[in-house]
A = this chain, B = another copy of it.
Amino acid sequence: MINIPEKSKAAVLVEYGKPLEIRELPIPEVEPHAILVKVEMAGICGTDIHMWRGDLGGRVTLPLVPGHETVGIIVKLGAGRTHDCAGQTIKEGDRIMWAHVDCGECYPCKMMKQPTLCERRFDYGFNYSLTGSFAEYEYVVPKADVVKIPDGLTNEEVVGVCCAFRTAVAAFERLHGLGMQSNIVIQGAGPVGLYSVVLSNICGAGKTICIGAPSLRLDLARKMGADEVINIDDFKDAVERKERVLALTDGKGADIIVEASGVPIAFAEGLDLLRRGGRYLVVGQTSAQGIISISPAVVVWKNLEIIGQCSADISHYYKALQIIKNNRQKYPFAEFITHKYRLDEINIAFTSMQAGKDIKPALVP
């Protein structure tokens, strides 16, 4: 039995753009079906930086405890919570992950079976309570879906599952198969892009081509299975990049493109890089606000299929963890975590993340 303190330190965002404050928040009673975890590792996401800057608008009320990518170790299980969503028993001391909470009762949850579109979703990292992960302890609410982390995987290997990897898995699932030996272009070399490189590889792509920058990330793209990389620092112009993609695809263009850059204009470039009959998986535009120009005729003329994927559910966490477990000899998943910080270094971490040098920094409270 682990001894539970009354309070937990947590990083609190009090004012946009100002340093977060370390405060002590009360640890709540563990309701039936809820779970109290000790935070083992918490990833810092681009969204956290956007929130810090005040870019997220009306979704946010201050103060709050940010953080939504967490590896937690179970400290106390609420009554009735005995298994994870894969049917595995869970107990104190086990490491788990959990998804944002869908209500399980609304039209998208029940009629469409698309819980990521839940009309009453509860998000971690948006409240002034221990439901954010930049803290010593985190409270997993009764309705949360959780999944146990397989033994033997390191925190560094798996923490990226909580946001970028499970989203990429959800997106690829929408494609219903890559088609055998398709040539796939990944736009972007951030976490979503790099995990998409992995997925492209293990799901039967012919050639995987990653477009992005800087070299550091493209080097990791290669380790993650990219057959070719196109550095936008070298191929600065969309015309040059198109020539390169055509050269790498027998003049045909990409069979499939995954948009993982988050840059609005990348969408127009993607439409141009696709072959006739191609498919476009758009994942990276979640926080993007930009307006771009396109010719809708291209959608018809090229006979395209375009799929947008927003977020993911617990099944995608599970599958991402299985992928890591089954392929960790081949791909250095731990290299996604380029820096680690203590909880009281969070403002250093945020500043460094904003400067764009990390792939993904993580807190180890």
Q: Is A264 an interface residue (CB 8 A)?
A: yes
Q: With contacts A114-B277, A177-B177, A277-B108 known, is A301 near B294, CB below 8 A?
A: no
Segment of A35-43, A283-291, A349-357 engaged in the interface with chain B: A283-291
A85 touches B112 (CB 8 A): no
Q: With contacts A286-B301, A290-B295 known, is A108 near B178, CB below 8 A?
A: no
A303 → chain B closest CB, angstroms:
5
Q: Which residue of B lies closest to A172 (CB)?
A: B180
A41 → chain B closest CB, angstroms:
23
Q: Is A245 an interface residue (CB 8 A)?
A: no
Q: Is A62 an interface residue (CB 8 A)?
A: no
Q: Is A299 an interface residue (CB 8 A)?
A: yes
Q: With contacts A117-B303, A302-B308 known, is A291 near B290, CB below 8 A?
A: no
Contacts of A308 in B (CB 8 A): 298-305
Interface size on A, residues (CB 8 A): 79
Contact string, A291-318, partner B, CB cutoff 8 A, digits 1/0?
Answer: 1111111111111111111100111001
The answer, among B83, B106, B202, B285, for a CB contact under 8 Å with A85, is B106
Q: With contacts A108-B277, A145-B110 known, is A181 near B264, CB below 8 A?
A: no
B113 touches A86 (CB 8 A): no
Interface residues of A in 253-292 (CB under 8 A from B): 259, 264, 267, 276-277, 282-292
B107 touches A252 (CB 8 A): yes
Q: With contacts A105-B83, A206-B326, A299-B308 known, is A111 near B292, CB below 8 A?
A: no
Contact string, A105-134, partner B, CB cutoff 8 A, digits 1/0?
Answer: 111111111101101000000000000000
B175 touches A177 (CB 8 A): yes
Q: 6 more A-B contacts (CB under 8 A) besides A207-B326, A289-B295, A304-B308?
A: A85-B106, A113-B315, A176-B177, A264-B295, A288-B296, A290-B296
